[in-house]
Amino acid sequence: MPGPGSRWWPGATLYQVYVRSWQDSDGDGYGDLNGVIARLDHLEWLGVDGIWLSPTMPSPDDDWGYDVSDYRDVHPELGTLADLDRLIAEAGRRGLRVLLDLVPNHTSSAHPWFVEATGDPASPRREYYVWADPRPDGRPPNNWLAANGDSAWTLDKASGQYYLHNFLASQPDLNWWNPAVHQEFTDILRFWFDRGVAGFRIDVAHGLYKDAELRDDPPAPSSDLIGGRYGLAQVYSANRPESHAVFRDWRKIADSYPSPRLLLGETWVTLDAMAGFHSEDDELQLTFNFPFIFADFTAEGLAGVVGDTMAALPAGECPVWTSSNHDISRFPTRWAGGDERKARLALLILATLPGTLVLYYGDEIAMTDVTVPVELRRDPMVPGGRRGEGRDRARTPMPWDASPSGGFTSDGVQPWLPYGPHAERNVATQRDDADSTLNLCRALLALRHRAFGGRLVSYEQLPAPAGVWMYRSGDLTVAANFTGQPVPLPALAGDVLLRTEPGGVH
């Protein structure tokens, strides 16, 4: 078993690079791996410890890489395996670890397994997926719904059976009851770990197993913000207890490396269920905290969910603090309504809570959502197809500078998603301004290194006036003032390293 010192993630900062939108190196309007390499200096300068790359494997891109057609290669539009190896080496030289995105819940319908499964129902690959006969009246086998609100079942006309897809019809769900599927992923994990990949963000970690009897999902309680899907509680179509055994096995593999590999779950579940994925420190080391992401941006709202998180997690387990990703509105918009002072307050909080911080690209400059005109939208995961609002607003190109292309690609090249307004809010402009959000973020990451030093420190909420949230995080005392007014605070011992001001931070 690895020693405690080999847990590098408590107090560390990870940075999610949405590869297609970060840096285009070849002028095709899409970001790519060589672009990531070209911009690694930014991350070293900022002080992050590792990166999570959004999907890098070959894919028809029906769901922008979350529909994998080959788990052992790199998407040709993003680069080659050699580019990825070089990225890992270049990142390593800068002290940055590289995590990949692993999609084990489903494949692309273009994956050879599914092609075989549909082409030959007698093939052993058939049982890699979830098949069921129609109900007597021909309807899908049960009431499960896909992420776009349609039925989660599509009829395979050739065989007369339905197959399951919790996302798009071109993302058939894998059948985790089949030990062969389990074995495939064991091999895939080792393939990447052996190449030096430091870990995985695991897509839909709570979803792998489905109810063996395919029972109908019950109606979701109206209070249920997490885990509900179009009015149904995903009790049978996901969230099954059998998934825990998969993560216990993967954890053994991760821990078998001299530098233990990290398993970070996309756990879109309640706090108690999230804590369950840590189990007795023998499943996922880190889990995304969606109740925190969706908490009200108020002293009471955040203090409540943070206290509940600390109470729910087993002792010694490391929480994750994040509030933007490629599926949701960015926090400078969702929490801060575009007010940069509030976004700075959010960064202060995210960076000073004990545990692992995961920044999304652009968080460091308080990048907001971008309104994408209907004709330019690219996200299909919306009710009604390609014209819905979708998730494109949080996936637009990184604004590196004030030039027309924002430094993302060559001027004159059409980016895959439109640029937001970036004349002022861009990396270059903010680097030159000592009081910018970018420089605040950098100072916060340096503070994390000094104050947390790779340790999981303790958390304690302190008494505070209404509208102020005060807490101790190891040796740090943090006072976050949400009132928009000056508030007198009790005298504190120690140096003031950063101060919150009415509605903001400097």
Which residues are near ligand NOJ by CB under 6 A?
Answer: 63, 66, 103, 167, 203-204, 266, 326-327, 381
Q: How far apart are CA 449 and CA 446, in angstroms?
A: 5
* Catalytic position from the list 61, 63, 83, 266: 266
CB of 61 or CB of 266, closer to ligand NOJ:
266
User: Around 386, how many Cα atoms within 13 Å sit in the side-chain half-sphere?
Assistant: 8
Locate 2 and state its tokens: 């690895």
Residue identified by tokens 């652009």 is 362
**Least Cβ distance, residue 327 to ligand NOJ (angstroms):** 5
Locate 263 and state its tokens: 């398993």
Q: Identify the DSSP state of 453.
A: T
Residues 6+ apart with CB under 8 A from 415: 24, 29, 396, 397, 405, 408, 409
* Burial (CB count <10 Å: 0-12, 13-18, 19+), residue 434: exposed
Minimal CB distance residue for ligand NOJ: 66
**Least Cβ distance, residue 11 to ligand NOJ (angstroms):** 25
CB of 171 or CB of 430, closer to ligand NOJ:
171
CB of 37 or CB of 232, closer to ligand NOJ:
232
Instruction: Determine how many CB atoms are found less than 10 A away from the CB of residue 431.
Output: 18
**Residue 113, phi then psi, degrees to nearest 5:** -60, -45
**Least Cβ distance, residue 66 to ligand NOJ (angstroms):** 3
**Least Cβ distance, residue 130 to ligand NOJ (angstroms):** 16
Q: How far apart are CA 337 and CA 193, in angstroms?
A: 40
- Closest by CA to 105, choosing from 243, 261, 279, 284, is 243
Q: How far apart are CA 355 and CA 286, in angstroms?
A: 9
Q: How far apart are CA 247 and CA 254, in angstroms?
A: 10
CB of 155 or CB of 382, closer to ligand NOJ:
382
CA dihedral 435, 23, 266, 326 (to 10 degrees): 80
The SS3 assignment for 111 reads coil
Q: How far apart are CA 470 and CA 82, in angstroms?
A: 48
- Closest by CA to 132, choosing from 170, 105, 165, 107, is 165
Instruction: Determine how many CB atoms are found less than 10 A away from the CB of residue 149.
Output: 14
Residue identified by tokens 């062969």 is 180
**Least Cβ distance, residue 268 to ligand NOJ (angstroms):** 8
* Catalytic position from the list 24, 203, 363, 364: 203
**Least Cβ distance, residue 295 to ligand NOJ (angstroms):** 20
Told to judge if 203 belongs to the known catalytic residues of this protein, a careful annotator would answer yes
CB of 148 or CB of 477, closer to ligand NOJ:
148
**Least Cβ distance, residue 91 to ligand NOJ (angstroms):** 22
**Least Cβ distance, residue 143 to ligand NOJ (angstroms):** 20
Locate 201 and state its tokens: 């963000």
Number of residues that this document lists for the chain: 506
Residues 6+ apart with CB under 8 A from 125: 113, 114, 116, 117
CB of 74 or CB of 202, closer to ligand NOJ:
202
CB of 308 or CB of 389, closer to ligand NOJ:
389
CB of 308 or CB of 327, closer to ligand NOJ:
327
Catalytic residues: 203, 266
